[in-house]
Amino acid sequence: MSTVTRRTISFVAIVLGFFMALLDSTIVNIALPEMIKHFGGSVGQISWVMNGYNLAFAVFILTAARLADQFGRKKVFLIGVLLFTVTSLLAGFAPSAQVLIGLRVLQGLAGAIIVPVTVPMATEIFPKEMHGTVVGIWGGISGLAAASGPALGGILTEKLNWQWIFFVNIPLGIISILLTMFFIKESYDSTSSKRIDYAGTISISGAMFCLTYALIKANEYGWGSYEIMGLIAGGCLLLLLFFVVEAKGKHPMLPLSLLKIRVFDGAALTLFMVGAGIMNITFLSSFYLTRVMEMTELKAGLLISVLAVGSMVASMIVGPLSSKYGSRWFAVIGVVILCISTYWLSGLGIDSTKIDVVIRLALAGVGVGLTMAPLMGSIVRNVPEEKVGISSGAVNMMRALGSVLGVAIIVTILQSNMTGEMDKARGAALELVQSNAALSVEVKEQLKTGLMHTSVSSTGSAQISADEIVNTMKEQGKVAAEQLTEQQRPVFVAALEQQAEEVKQLLLRIQHSYLEAASNAFNGTFVFSSVLMLLGIPFAWFSDYRRKERAGIESLNYKTES
């Protein structure tokens, strides 16, 4: 077998495992309503099918990267893919929501094992001159997996059933395991001690658990609640303890000398912001398309997958180029494009076309592609070769934490905007009812009572059932008509029909105004998200050295552990 063929097969094995792990971070979201129908329970409970995965992923990823460097990346990768495949099979047959959530936590642990080792395994297979291309393809697959989740999840759920979002992993996992076993050689961090850093593992895992759990529950308990403030304080203290332990330990899991590398810090912080930005775009877009533009989940998922196409194309183009010209300007331009595309999404309205959505999301995908692959390439080039594994784990942990933080903040902003906009819309609707001269006093009071009790979800769902109100009016009218004489009854029925038609037309206008209010709330949130993303621009600037600096740097004066 030729070297090229062996490298290609080995890379396919890595990509299959990597794609599977990232895909499952988003593919379940679209199927949550079907899971509620199947198992029962509340939205809050079933959301832990998603939250449990993300929590376990963020908590374990740095530890998994360290263990892989110590005991063998191939070995750890195989354990992760095997665990992921088995839990996917079991999840499809889960008898209860509680069992499914437990299996998703195990899947999150498996995903944390798989993702950080893929970059060092891939760079180990190919020569250095091909690392830019490899990382570019890695970035494209990353964007494709994350953004295509809603579309693939929608197709599988609609055409088969929700269990298939787990069953689809089984053939991918089996192929990845077989190819890895026979075609990939073992690799290690040769400078890494075999001793496990228990203090570092416990402190960083505890810190990530507290911080991630706090962000997941912030909108339920409130940002100022004792529970959330306590979790954040505990997480910060454990994080501080982690740095103290790593500074004093003889065999630290994360050598703090990595933090002295400006490029590493810049790339990690940029990926933190990009993780938040990507999640905000996909989260807000999915609800905007389904709740405001009233698309089906499947159509919305297919439109959002356009982001993946833009990301994949851009990543594969700029990956090799960033190796030649550096990552700085690609990353800066990518973050700027993400800011612009997010702001442009605020221009959508309830009458916008699918083309309007596609253009904006495709541009966002280009921004993701210009950012992700060059940043990972910068890390591969600018940290010691044996530390690529732990570096990959650290920056992927930052990206995961950024995603959770982004959703937590953006949901808070959306709820605030939605409350304000809906209060204004409700007030305008009440005035519209009161000023309608065609309606009787009794009908006006009934409508105003109904409007005051109309609940509005944080994602803009405020459906007013015109048919239900009209049918109630007619039922009440029948009872009243029975009390009238034969001569009075036809006149009363005709007047009732006229009133019912007026109510229906009025409620359609009010429903339209509610959708516009929801659109305004989303648009304001998109603007806030775009402004938040601006913080990523200075971080991106420091994500690589200038070309003159690069030429003058022969070594990083990096002190590795013995």
Per-residue pLDDT tens digits for 233-277:
998 999 899 888 888 877 777 777 777 888 888 888 888 888 888
In contact, 252 and 245? CB cutoff 8 Å: yes
Residue 558: per-residue pLDDT: 42
Per-residue exposure over 83-120, b if at least 16 CB sit within 10 Å of its own CB, e if not: bbbbbbebbbebeebeebbbbbbbbbbbbbbbbbbbbb
Q: What is the pLDDT of residue 44?
A: 64
Amino acid letter, residue 232? I
What per-residue confidence (pLDDT) applies to 87? Answer: 93
- 366 or 58: which leads in pLDDT: 366
As a whole number of angstroms, the distance between CA 60 and CA 54 comes to 10
When pLDDT is cut at 50, 70 and 90, the band that residue 557 belongs to is very low
Q: Is 244 or 31 the better-scoring residue by pLDDT? A: 244
Amino acid found at 210: C
Q: Strands (DSSP E) along 124-247, which ranges?
A: none
The reported pLDDT for the residue numbered 378 is 80
Q: In this predicted model, what pLDDT tens digit does every residue of 341-392 receive, in sequence order?
A: 999 999 998 888 999 999 999 999 899 888 887 887 787 777 777 777 777 7
With cut-offs at 50, 70 and 90, classify the pLDDT of residue 559.
Answer: very low
Burial of 237 from C-beta contacts in 10 A (0-12 / 13-18 / 19+): middle
Dump pLDDT digits (tens) for 16-25.
Answer: 888 888 777 7
Amino acid at 167: F
Lowest mean pLDDT, pick from 92-106, 318-332, 542-556: 542-556
Question: In which element (H, E) is residue 34 found?
Answer: helix 32-39
Residue 562 has pLDDT above 50, yes or no: no
Spatial separation of the C-alpha atoms in residues 172 and 170, rounded to whole Å? 5
| pTM score | 0.76
Q: What percent of the chain has pLDDT over 90?
A: 11
Quote the pLDDT of residue 196: 78
pLDDT tier, 64 (very low <50, low <70, confident <90, very high otherwise): confident
- Give residue 556's pLDDT: 42
Q: What is the pLDDT of residues 152-208, one digit of tens each?
A: 777 777 778 888 888 888 998 999 999 988 888 887 766 666 777 788 888 888 888
Express each pLDDT in 487-521 by its tens digit.
Answer: 666 766 677 667 777 777 777 777 778 888 888 88
Tell me what pLDDT residue 43 has.
61
pLDDT at position 67: 84
Terminal alpha carbon distance of the chain:
38
Q: Count Cβ atoms within 10 A of the Cβ of residue 276 and give its class: 0-12 exposed, 13-18 middle, 19 or more buried.
A: buried
Largest CA distance in the chain: 103
Q: How many CB atoms lie within 10 A of CB 468?
A: 11
Most confident of 50-64, 328-342, 363-377: 328-342
Q: How confident is the model at residue 82 (pLDDT cuts 50, 70, 90)?
A: very high
In whole angstroms, what is the distance from residue 544 CA to residue 95 CA? 50
Residue 305, Cβ density class (10 Å: 0-12 exposed, 13-18 middle, ≥19 buried): buried
pLDDT at position 230: 92
Q: Are 315 and 137 in contact (CB under 8 A)?
A: yes
Q: What is the chain's mean pLDDT, rounded? A: 79
Q: What is the CATH number of domain 1-127+153-185?
A: 1.20.1250.20
List the domain boundaries for the chain. Answer: 1-127+153-185, 419-521
pLDDT at 146: 66
pLDDT band at 456 (very low <50, low <70, confident <90, very high): low
Q: Averaged over 217-223, what is the pLDDT?
A: 79
- Decide if pLDDT at 210 tops 80: yes
Mean pLDDT of 452-474: 56
For 40: left if phi > 0, alpha if psi spans -120 to 50, otherwise beta; the answer is left
Q: What is the pLDDT of residue 472?
A: 61
Q: What is the DSSP letter of 511?
A: H
pLDDT, residue 282, reads: 80
Alpha-carbon distance 179 to 150, whole Å? 28
